[in-house]
Structure 1
Amino acid sequence: MHAIDAKDRQLLELLYRNARLPLKTIAARVGLARSSVRERVAKLESSGVIRGYRAEVAWPQTPESVQAYFQVRLRQTPATALVRRLRDRPEFERCCSIGGEVDLVLSACVDSLAALNGLRDWLAVQAEVASVSTSVVLSEDFRR
């Protein structure tokens, strides 16, 4: 793995906050030449420190939209086939495997409480699932 120094940390922080910053701007902020920044970014990418770039999308929601978290206990881990099926369902925005009594935490956004209930029912009957607990989001106070 690539050894990260203070300049790399500055560069990573800037890219983390805004991956679309021009190299010229990054170079000026970290005090390096543009060519040096380009080389450092390439090394960070090839070593796997920078794994990719993405668009953070705030999907338009209707006033009736419902966000929820599901806490899932599995019959057995790993459950890679289930995770693939979850990935195929666009309602699920995030899936995290965690330690402890709960195995997966899923976040979802649907159009209504009826749709949430249907999604929960679908999840509960998956063969790998032992139990599901649902928490409806009342408000989102901030997101990074």
Structure 2
Amino acid sequence: MDAIDQRLLTILETNGRASFAQIAETVGLSKTPCWNRVQALEDGGVITGYRAELDRSRVGLPLLAFVDVAIDLGRHQAFEEAIAQVPAVLECHTTAGPFDYVLRVALRDVEALDQLLRTELSRLPGVKTFSTRICLKTVFQARPLMAASGTQP
């Protein structure tokens, strides 16, 4: 990946709706070579998709929580298969430390969170214990990966 590819990724990550004409002009290419490079980044698995970012509150899911989960040894695969089927779970990451996973969940209110914890999460395969933190305020989210790499358009 060269500097032009990095600039293309930076632009697309911050504005996935940018036209190829806009992108090409910004990186100093014509449209066809620009399109070819983006296609190669998609084919190579660097670009994994495009999507709209939604406001949780405006779609009825204002409560954000993080749930740390400890699993019985040998039950990780079963847990991972089961947790992937829980719609309120936006993300699931394995972790090092006292818990095996951290989940990011979005729900309508505290009652829905209580219901999720009591009737769904606690009954998933291998769940030993969990600890929940409710987010009071999101300072920022979804920082672009290319920003973390220090690449600028």
Identify the TM-score tier after normalising by the shorter chain.
Answer: 0.7 to 0.9
1:49 and 2:46 matched: yes
Q: How many angstroms does 1:90 deviate by?
A: 1.9
Deviates more, 1:31-40 or 1:134-143: 134-143
Which whole-Å CA distance do the structure 2 matches of 1:52 and 1:39 have between them? 16
Letter paired with 1:74: I
Q: How many angstroms does 1:100 deviate by?
A: 2.7
Which whole-Å CA distance do the structure 2 matches of 1:95 and 1:68 have between them? 12
For 1:90-109, list aligned pairs within 5 A: 90-109=87-106
Letter paired with 2:80: V
Partner residue, 1:137: 135
Select which of 121, 124, 133 maps to 1:123: 121
Q: Which has the higher contact order (CA 8 A, sep 6+)?
A: 2
1:36 and 2:57 matched: no
Which consecutive aligned stretches of 4+ in structure 1 deviate over 4 angstroms post-superposition? none
Which whole-Å CA distance do the structure 1 matches of 2:41 and 2:89 have between them? 30
Can you give the 5+ residue segments of structure 1 that lack an aligned partner in the other structure?
A: none
Would you say how many aligned residue pairs link Structure 1 and Structure 2? 140
TM-score normalised to structure 2 length: 0.81
Cα RMSD (Å): 2.0
Can you give the 5+ residue segments of structure 2 that lack an aligned partner in the other structure?
A: 143-153
